[in-house]
Amino acid sequence: MRGKITVVGSYNTGFLVYVDRLPVEGETLPGYGFRIEHGGKGSNQAIQAARLGCDTAIIARVGSDMFGDRAVGKWAAENVGGGYVVRDAEKPTGAGLVIVGPQGRNIIVVDLGANMRLSKNDVEKAFPRLSNSDVVLAQLEIPLETALHALRGSEAVSILNPAPAPMINPSQLEGVKIITPNEVEILTMAGYKPSQSSEIVRVAERYARYVEHVIVTLGERGALVVGGGRRIHVKTPQIRAVDSTGAGDAFNGALAAFLARGYDLLDAVEMACCAGAFLAARVKRGELVEALARAGELEKFIAEQSHTLGHVGERTPSR
């Protein structure tokens, strides 16, 4: 089963330069290693799903500029359908400016540009595609109301990756089947501080009253799946992480892919953890997106790591 996925999300061009130390206000420093990258959570996740063999399309808004041209060209090269991409005549393609210093410390400035003009009307024009999708996946580098409109617009398995996370009342998410925050995002959504990690399970259970499943990604510790009266910890391969940047996008794109192909939820989460670990274990020579797994690579990785996988769980107390 190939599976049909529609991603409703962002594209950002990344401009990276490396420096020996980070600059202070008003200072000009020599840099090196400048490059321009494809990015944006929506684009990354769509490319991951397409690389795993799914019929994937993206609903997005980019500028009528050269960077919008680059986005459209990249999606075509990755077999991501771009028939519902809007070219904005007023706002530029989203961009991120990244200065990387020693030990990976960085300064980042992001202008989401055309992404923040992706509208309900743009989504409605794509309803024929949404209504025939197995999975619809959205993130929050676009307006929340646009993401929710798309996720509630079909009978597909709907996944919201609430990143970056605003405060969200649990009742706002009614009608969404799955949310996939990380540990910081689940707390931010509920108005807690990142240091209040002891509250993660309780907060996840609160959101699970309105969505079918809350999947909290835990980095090298795997993922916590809460919903249906269960609390399950899904393991991830024990690898030596080189660079975890983008692992969340790999996870979400793979989760959508395996669910679209008919996998059981827990098995799909396990495979998605493997996709995230695969990316984190790779040395990223050049663009992050090039480190996303292709189907054959992930199958080999999973076979090699199968002895480290599994999941354990318990019933959650009735309330």
Number of H helices, E strands in the chain: 10, 14
CB 267 within 8 A of CB 285: no
The C-alpha atoms of residue 143 and residue 117 are separated, in whole angstroms, by: 8
Instruction: Identify the bridge partners of residue 246 per DSSP, sorted by sequence position.
Output: none
E strand segments, the chain: 4-8, 12-18, 32-39, 55-63, 80-88, 94-100, 106-111, 135-139, 157-161, 178-179, 213-217, 223-227, 230-234, 311-315
Question: Quick check: is 249 catalytic?
Answer: yes
Nearest to 177 by CA among 202, 197, 151, 195: 151
Residue pair 237/317 in contact (Cβ under 8 Å)? The answer is: no
Query: What is the C-alpha to C-alpha distance for residues 277 and 301, in angstroms, rounded to an integer?
Result: 9
The answer to whether residues 180 and 215 touch, using CB atoms and an 8 Å cutoff, is: yes
Helices 247-260 and 41-51: crossing angle, nearest 10°? 50
Helix (H, G, I), strand (E, B) or coil at 201: helix
Q: Which of 134, 249, 264, 267 is catalytic?
A: 249
Cis peptide leading into 162, omega within 30 of 0?
no
- Spatial distance between the Cα atoms of 153 and 54, rounded to a whole number of angstroms: 21
In 3D space, the residue among 129, 126, 97 whose CA is nearest the CA of residue 31 turns out to be 97
- State CA 121 to chain mean position distance: 23
Q: Which residues are catalytic?
A: 249
